[in-house]
Amino acid sequence: MNYTHSIERKKTKKIKLGNIEIGGDAPIAVQTMTNTLTHNIDATLKQISEIENEGCDIVRVSIPDEASSKALKSIIPHIKIPLIADIHFHYKRALEAAENGAHCLRINPGNIGSKERVSEVIEAARQNNIPIRVGVNAGSLEKQILDKYKSPTSEALFESAKLNIQLLEDLNFDNFKISVKASNIFTSVESYQMLSNYCNYPLHLGITEAGSYFSGSIKSSIGLGMLLYQGIGDTIRVSLSDHPTQEVKVGFEMLKSLNLRDYGVTIISCPSCARQNFDVIETVKSVESQLSHIKKPITVSIIGCVVNGPGEATMTNIGITGGGKDTHMIYVDGEKSHRIHNENLVEYLVKTIEEKVNLIHQ
């Protein structure tokens, strides 16, 4: 069961990245990046498998050396999601990655070098029929733009993006998406707003170097949430100093909160108070942990008393309201279903929710 509000997304140009579509009416894709040495093939494959199990749509890997670009031949046949090769400074790594099967090239023209080198990268992408992600970043702007603006302002990022778009268009290449990332929320949001008004290419959203799991999740949710609510964005990455699977989880939670993706178990729960008739906090933690394997969408309300419990339960697939004396009301699809007495709540809820998911998505 879902709330009815929906966000009207800007319809951008649609491109193909491996086996998924980006832009247009395609779902907003959740992306992350491995933090292994790419030439360590076993470690990289293990991490990509973990990312895939979280439902990630796209993975990006660093290609800092020739060993990493060669490793793509051994990695790509064994993964299920599209792979983006992340290139900095060495344009030949982009040429190698394209030849070795990368589904997309991420370049920052500001540090790739001359127009001739960028042109070679574009031609490699064209010959291998793969898109490019132009990554404009506040930490690596072109020297002439930094000289003009003195610091990486939103106007500076936007100007860099315009120059790079013009460069690709002059080379008759339009199979790309673009990002304008900064670690400052306001700089990022303003840059993306200007870019969205300027062009129709798909946009990859991110607040770069957002920080730790806790602070970075909050920072990213505010910045990306502001843009997503305005209908801006076709792919997202939550950049955290944590395991990539955590980035994926936060990304999906963000999209779920805005009704932009249906994914996994959504739990509506109270913060608990003196009115609670069971330990809400520990129940929610345990239920969420034991249901982390579920990727099909289902909504659950876990409320400790009858003040808000019945109202919240009317809007979820499964609901429980604390009734006192170890007696609780179970709701199914918004309707009162039955009472339970002295049950192990976590065990009961996990079993009930799993059965409901199977019933909904059979």
Instruction: Give CA separation, 180 vs 21, 158, 306, in Å.
Output: 21, 7, 47
The first and second tokens of residue 326, run together, are 């170890």
How many C-beta neighbours within 10 Å does residue 318 have?
Answer: 25
Tell me, what's the pLDDT at 4?
A: 55
Q: State whether the Cα torsion 15-202-235-158 is positive or negative.
A: positive
- Helix (H) / strand (E) element for 194: namely helix 185-198
Q: Is the pLDDT of residue 325 over 80?
A: no
Q: Which of the residue ranges 57-66, 166-175, 225-234, 301-310 would you say has the lowest mean pLDDT?
A: 301-310
Q: Is the pLDDT of residue 275 over 90?
A: no
Q: For residue 47, name the pLDDT band (cuts at 50, 70, 90).
A: very high
CATH number of 15-257: 3.20.20.20
Cα–chain center distance at 252: 6
Q: For residue 15, name the pLDDT band (cuts at 50, 70, 90).
A: very high
Q: Is the pLDDT of residue 333 over 70?
A: yes
**Closest by alpha carbon to 267, among 255, 257, 278, 277?**
257
How many C-beta neighbours within 10 Å does residue 23 have?
Answer: 23
Compute the distance between CA of residue 211 and CA of residue 98 in angstroms, rounded to an integer.
Answer: 31
Fold of 265-360: Sulfite Reductase Hemoprotein; domain 1 (3.30.413)
Q: Is the pLDDT of residue 86 over 90?
A: yes
Share of the chain above pLDDT 90, in %: 80
What are the boundaries of each domain within the chain? Answer: 15-257, 265-360
Question: What is the per-residue pLDDT across 106-153, written as a single tens digit (0 to 9) for each?
Answer: 998 767 767 888 899 999 999 999 999 999 999 888 889 999 999 999
Compute the distance between CA of residue 248 and CA of residue 241 in angstroms, rounded to an integer.
Answer: 13
Q: Is the pLDDT of residue 1 over 70?
A: no
Beta pairing partners, 205 = 236
Q: State whether the Cα torsion 90-94-100-101 is positive or negative.
A: positive
CA within 13 Å, CB half, 216 = 23
Share of the chain above pLDDT 70, in %: 98
Q: Is the pLDDT of residue 64 over 70?
A: yes
What's the average model confidence in pLDDT over 154-182? 95
Q: Is the pLDDT of residue 241 over 80?
A: yes
pTM of whole model > 0.95? no
The first and second tokens of residue 258, run together, are 């805005």
Tell me, what's the pLDDT at 3?
A: 47
Mention every residue, 6+ apart, whose C-beta is less than 8 A from residue 236. 28, 29, 30, 31, 204, 205, 206, 224, 228, 251, 254, 255
Which contacts qualify for 313-317: CB closer than 8 Å, 24 or more apart?
315/1, 315/3, 315/268, 316/1, 316/268, 317/1, 317/356, 317/360
